[in-house]
Chains A and B, each alone.
Chain A
Amino acid sequence: MLTDRQDSFDEAGRDQRRFSVRVLVSLLILFVLVTTLGVRLFSLQVGAHEHFTTLSENNRLRIEPIPPTRGLIFDRNGVLLAENRPAYQLEVTVEQAGDLDLLLERLSRLVDLSPLEIERFRASIRQRRPFQPVLLKSGLDDESVARIAVARHELPGVEIEARPVRHYPLGADFAHVVGYVGRINEQDLLRLNTRNYAGTSHTGKTGVERYFEDILHGTTGHKQVEVNAQGRVIRELSAVPPVPGKDLVLSIDVELQRAARDALAPHDGAVVAIDPATGEVLALVSKPGFDPNPFVHGISHRDFAALQADPHKPLFNRALSGQYPPGSTLKPIVALAGLEENVTTAERRMFATGYFQIPGHERRYRDWRRGGHGWVDMSRAIAVSSDVYFYDLGFKLGIDRMAPMLGAFGIGSRVGIDATGERPGILPSREWKRSVQNLPWFPGETVITAIGQGYMLTTPLQLADVASTLANRGQRVQPRLLRAIRDGSNGDPVMQPVRHLPPVIAREAHWDVIHDAMVESVHARHGTAWGSIGSNPPAGYRIAGKTGTAQVFSLAPDQEYDQDTLDRSLWDHALFIAYAPAEAPTIAVGVLVEHGGSGGRVAAPVARKVIDFHLASQGLIAAAEGAR
């Protein structure tokens, strides 16, 4: 018993020692583990402290862009062409929306959501930053706003924002000048500075809106806000205000533009009026126009398709992008080339029959007038628009001496107007034909080039520019739409400088000949514009002009052009270039009437109305009458 007890006592002692060893081992292991934790926490809190501080700040702080207000656009007299109107738009913060499909379904029961809007919305989601609201629908009416407001509790993440939206109060008449803004798309993102457009939804797509995007847009401001994990803004920490875009004052005269539009009626066409002294474009009409406002909100596929399918092509900017054969309007340039190259003189007379033949060739090049014009000198040839005289002159000049003069007047190159979509036209030459068609130049092509047919194409803007250069006797001023830039509504407008292009060099006497001939073509009884202008002359001033008729299709050598039997779409284009008052020009005009027929009968009266309106609005006519 005693030994048993002794054994068990010994056993108890052994057990306690064994236990103590285990406890020490446990403490050692625990110490290792706690040290591991300590090292881990040291590496997080001290080693990687800066890294995690950055992450923590990124979590907590968000930079929110403050979009600038887009600059306004005015005409030269202060009439508003593009403004910003508050409009309600529907925005969704996707992070807060939960089930997006369910939300869209609920919303579509409250407002009219087109498939296009949903498609664009989904595309925008992919481009946005986290917690940035995405535009779903703009231009909400009051009723929709009210319906959504009532159902707000079941529309998480949905916000109705009143944001300034571009509006064009004058609508269709200025769409081809001002252009329009639209939702920024992926192509826009490639060219825009995305940082400065962080809060901007729209950008200029065409026209002045596009060309002067940088000036109109302004600089985006930003505010630093503290947000919680739900993305809700807790407070604003700092802000850099945006710099609003600058206002543009265009050279366009709204009243003149409308007068030009009315003058074109009932035809489609284009009118460009330029102040030859400054290059300021007073009117730039492409008729028909289109209402740019639907494009701001995102025009529906159907409406857009309708515009594209419209046979009158309202989306086509005829004034800048339309390329037409200039017809006889450029005969004064060919005449000037003849004089400058000493190929002919103003006084040399020729008997203009009904056709012209290149020596040794069979082909007859017909005059527009069957029997010809009889004896003509240069001035009369221009006034009556004798084709045969210019076939002959062109043949003698050759394309190599004719093309440089046409090129000097800007044919075949863009004038560089400050809007989008301008096309250069075509200045035919040996080099041009070789490079484009890889064919040699034929003499017959020289002959028809002299009367503005064949390969040569010009835009109505170029025709107005030619008229301006003729009015300036060779001084070339670059046409422009921007008259001044104004910094805010109370800033002083900064007038834009006149920009000169390389002048057309010719002797003064030669300019006199051309000038007199262009006056003669309007005001002489035999002039092509006599019937529409000269016979009922404007009071107090004279117009220098030149008619033109551009063939839409080629007649066979023995075929007669008979307007009555032709389909309207095959009628000739009617053209006219003019400047006035002839002695001290303040306006140069280029007119194109699509399928109008004769330039003298159809295009000249348009120019007359535009010139009359302009001079009357400037008080020039009244002043002239008073002096009489």
Chain B
Amino acid sequence: MISVTGRELTTSQWLLRSLRLDGTLLVLIGVLLMIGLVVLYSASGESVQALERQMSRIALGAFALLAVARIPISTLRSVSPWLFLGALGLLVAVVLFGDVGKGARRWLDLGVIRFQPSEIMKLAMPLMVAWYLSLRNAPPRFIDLLVVGVLIVVPVLLIMRQPDLGTALLVGAAGLLVLFLAGLSWRWFLGLGLAIAALIPLLWTQMHDYQRQRIVTLLNPESDPLGAGYHIIQSKIAIGSGGLYGKGWLNGTQSQLQFLPERSTDFVFAVYAEEFGFLGVMLLLALYFLIVGRGLWIAAMAQERFCRLIAGSISLTFAVYMVVNIGMVSGLLPVVGIPLPLVSYGGTSLVTLMVGFGILMAVHSQQRLVNR
């Protein structure tokens, strides 16, 4: 893979190219993962064990990223429908044979490993929609909208049934974002927005009690300060008491004294905000914005429609992750179980995200090869 442009390459450039990686994105992701480890050490009560487990997950994720980056885009495109069907089948299997954990049926136990098929769907969904739309003429027509609508609604409903509102939201967003990027007419999005608004009452009746409770709690957290509102109240206290400069690493009383629930997973942002303050928060937001921006740049540079769509969708889904998580932790959005991407403790979503970035890397490097 030595360049044919005649320009000498530095060793690191050569290494990146030979591994088919985008250096900018890699550095940004690396910084974010480092921040995640730093916060995790504090949030877990200085647990070296938690740190080691998270690092092993990062290693697994990095391996997955490297592996996926090498997969030819054409291969990726051709397996997309099969991946989607497989994930759908697994989701159905979860409904039929799934394991119950924390009151929800999300896990599938294959004897060797136990995993959440909904995580596969996070990537299978945009791949499938991108695959379908790349076969059709652009921009999408009404018939495409109907097909994609079915492709999105069926898995989303299956995941909502588990129930896992957060993942359902992300999967649905990933599909819709592909539609959006493919250039679906604004009118349809307007219509879709109205349809969703009209569906809200129906959705409300279909929701589980705890899901409704979360929305009620968002509107008035003080209504149940020791119950459902406790998370939001304590999280806001943690963020607000952090101030401009923060209380300092390992000095966040809200997290260190265990007032903050879920402090190493979904609410890790509150720990970060408490200890590093508004300035730290701005840095984190900037980092996320840069990652998403870089991902979109990669997408915009791609020559093939499938590549553009999948890269754009992955980048924007990552943005949805971040906005929803920070929005919920700071009390702007209801509490849905969405982790802070690349920072929250937990394996499944981290590996999925890294695989997603692997696809971005693949798009980036293979597109360049085509160009050159």
Contact = CB atoms under 8 A, between A and B. Distances in A.
Interface of A: 11-12, 14-16, 18-20, 22-23, 26-27, 30-31, 33-34, 36-38, 40-42, 44-46, 48-49, 51-53, 55-56, 59-60, 226-230, 234
B293 interface: yes
B340 to A, nearest CB: 12
24 contacts: A15-B138, A19-B309, A22-B180, A26-B180, A26-B296, A27-B292, A27-B293, A34-B285, A37-B332, A41-B273, A44-B330, A45-B240, A45-B242, A45-B278, A46-B278, A49-B241, A49-B243, A52-B239, A53-B243, A55-B237, A56-B241, A59-B234, A60-B254, A234-B257
Contacts of B293: 27
Nearest to A11: B138
B282 interface: yes
A55 B240 CA distance: 9
Contacts of B243: 45-46, 49, 53
Contacts of A19: 181-183, 299-300, 305, 308-309, 312
Interface in B290-312: 292-293, 296, 299-300, 303, 305, 308-309, 312
Interface stretch (B96-104, B115-123, B319-327, B353-361): B319-327
Given A16-B300, A23-B181, 19 more contacts: A16-B303, A18-B139, A18-B183, A19-B305, A22-B312, A27-B293, A31-B289, A33-B323, A34-B285, A37-B326, A37-B327, A45-B239, A45-B243, A46-B243, A46-B244, A56-B241, A59-B253, A59-B257, A226-B253
A45 B277 contact: yes
A222 B326 CA distance: 40
Which of A26, A27, A56, A234 gathers the greatest number of chain B CB atoms within 10 Å? A56
B312 A45 contact: no
Interface in B253-272: 253-254, 257-259
B234 to A, nearest CB: 8
Interface size bracket, B side:
35 or more
A275 to B, nearest CB: 62
Contacts of A42: 278
Contacts of A234: 257
Nearest to B244: A46
Interface of B: 137-139, 177, 180-183, 234, 236-244, 253-254, 257-259, 273, 277-278, 281-282, 285, 288-289, 292-293, 296, 299-300, 303, 305, 308-309, 312, 316, 319, 323, 326-327, 330-332
A56 B323 contact: no
Which of A52, A60, A230 gathers the greatest number of chain B CB atoms within 10 Å? A52
Contacts of A60: 253-254, 257, 259
Contacts of B258: 228-230
Contact of B257 (A11, A45, A55, A228): A228
Nearest 5 interchain pairs by C-beta: A52-B240, A56-B241, A45-B278, A228-B257, A229-B258
B237 A45 contact: no
B138 A229 contact: no
Given A49-B240, A56-B238, A41 B278 contact: yes
A49 B259 contact: no
Contacts of A40: 327, 330-332
Nearest to A19: B308
Nearest to A130: B226
Given A18-B138, A40-B332, A229-B259, A30 B240 contact: no
A45 B240 CA distance: 4
A15 B305 contact: yes
B156 to A, nearest CB: 21
B236 A44 contact: yes
A48 B305 contact: no
Contacts of B180: 22, 26
A39 B357 CA distance: 29
A81 B167 CA distance: 73
A41 B284 CA distance: 12
Contact of B308 (A16, A51, A53, A229): A16
B77 to A, nearest CB: 16
Contacts of A26: 177, 180-181, 296, 312, 316
A56 B253 contact: yes
Contacts of B299: 19, 23
A243 B254 CA distance: 34
A45 B254 CA distance: 14
Nearest to B183: A18
B148 to A, nearest CB: 15
Contact of A30 (B139, B236, B241, B292): B292
Contacts of A14: 138
Contacts of B183: 15, 18-19, 22
A66 B227 CA distance: 31
A292 to B, nearest CB: 42
Contacts of B326: 37, 41
Nearest to A26: B316
A16 to B, nearest CB: 7
